[in-house]
Every structure is written in structure tokens, then in C-alpha cells.
Amino acid sequence: MAQNAHIPEDLYHILLTTSHISKNPNNVVEKVRVLGSYTSLIAAKAAAHSCLYDAGYEEEFFKTYEINPGRAEKEQNERDSGVIIHASAADGTIFRVRIKNSPNEALALTSDLPDGRVSVPLYYVIQASVEYGGDDGSLVRDIDVEGAFASYAEARKFASTVLLSPEDGITKDSFAEYSEAGPDETDCGYGENVIVHAASEYGTNYLVNVVKTLELKAVGVAEAAMRIR
């Protein structure tokens, strides 16, 4: 990377989630993909608005395609969770694009590309909160990128601490249920790359994933598949 490249305090990540409600409610899986990280919000927004087409989808593939959803009352959750693109396909697959930011730990990452994209492969720690059941089904209600790291070991270590805060009295025993993948495991039984699953006494479930950016066609994609029913 260029030595005079701007080093940002925060990174901006483009998240794409896809979900499909099948006839079997036990097969509902929401996939979370990190399409890229950028050194500025402006650059991330520009990339986010074209990301589905850049990934190979064509306009006629979508039954609906809405930018900045949330004008209708029923879309309040979309607006609150930062969705900037909501699209649906004829087969019932729902696409949601979000931009999330996280601290640039130790100011270690920057970009020397014209579009501000971080070009090195990253390991992302992603936390999602899910509410099972209800009128809207079991869907991810909120999702955040807690951090981006250059190695899996760093990301995995951080993922184990995301839900805990001993100084505030929040430990594993604070949850009604808490499970974590073992040292030699890459998931804890709640979906591919899900390192930690916890459930509160109020029914909210938390899933912490570690995913790596991978090359998929022309787009670098990091993906986690979370079982949400």
C-alpha cells in the first residue's frame, strides 16, 4: 500500500443479507455476505448502490427493488436496521444491503485504490440479533460488524468476547443459553461460521460469526449462513 495513503479511524463495510422463506419453516437460513470494506462512507455508499448488479444480478431478476426503504410504517424495522436497498426476486428471495462501520483497529488498514476499497482479505466479526417466531417470521432484526482483522486468530479471539463484559457484570451465565465453538471447531451448531450463540431470557438470540473475504466472480465476498429457526 502507498505510504501516503489516508489511514481512517473507521472502516465502512457493505453487508448483503439474503433470506428465503421455504415451505419447510425449519429450513429458513439467512446468509450474510460482506461485499467489501471502504475507507470512507461516501465510497461505501457509491459501491453499495451498485453492488447487486456488480455481483452479476440483472435488473429483470428482481420483482421489486427499493432504495432507502422505510417510508411505509411496516418498513420501520428496515429503516432502523440501516437497510439502504431492499429487493425481492420472483422465487421469494429477499435481498437487503446495509452499510455498517467498525473501528480500524490499531489503524492497521487503509487503501491505495481509487475507489477507497480495502484490497487485502479480511476476517470479519459479525453480530446478529434474531427474534424467533412472531407475525414476521424469524428474521435477523439487527446486524453489525464488530471488527475487521487481518488474521483468523485475531478475529476468533475477539469474537469470543463480543457478547461479554465482565466489568459490567455480563458473563456467560447472564444468558439463558450460551454456546461457543471449541478451539478446533469453526461453528457451534447454529450455522456455518457461527462461533457463538446466546439467548436472552426475553427471547432474543445473538449469533456471532467470523467470516473471511473470498473471491466470488468479480466480487470479493465473505459469507456466513445462519440458521434462524
pLDDT bin (cut points 50, 70, 90) of residue 1 is: very low
Top pLDDT among 95 and 79 is at 95
Q: What is the pLDDT of residues 107-150, one digit of tens each?
A: 677 787 888 888 888 999 999 988 765 555 555 578 899 999 98
- Which own/partner pairs from 108-114 qualify as long-range (CB within 8 Å, at least 24 positions apart)? 108/150, 109/7, 109/11, 109/37, 109/148, 109/150, 110/1, 110/5, 110/6, 110/7, 110/8, 110/39, 111/1, 111/5, 111/38, 111/39, 112/1, 112/2, 112/5
pLDDT for residue 221: 56
Q: Is the pLDDT confidence value at 196 over 70? A: yes
The whole-number average pLDDT for the span 188-200 is 92
Instruction: Tell me the torsion sign for CA atoms 8, 41, 33, 24.
Output: positive
Q: Is the pLDDT confidence value at 42 over 60? A: yes
| Alpha-carbon gap, residue 183 to 202, rounded angstroms | 29
Q: What is the pLDDT of residues 59-77, one digit of tens each?
A: 899 999 999 876 555 555 5
Q: What is the mean pLDDT of the chain?
A: 82
Q: Is the pLDDT confidence value at 27 over 70? A: no
The whole-number average pLDDT for the span 18-39 is 72
Q: What is the pLDDT of residues 155-182, one digit of tens each?
A: 999 999 999 999 999 999 999 999 999 9
- Domain boundaries in the chain? 10-227
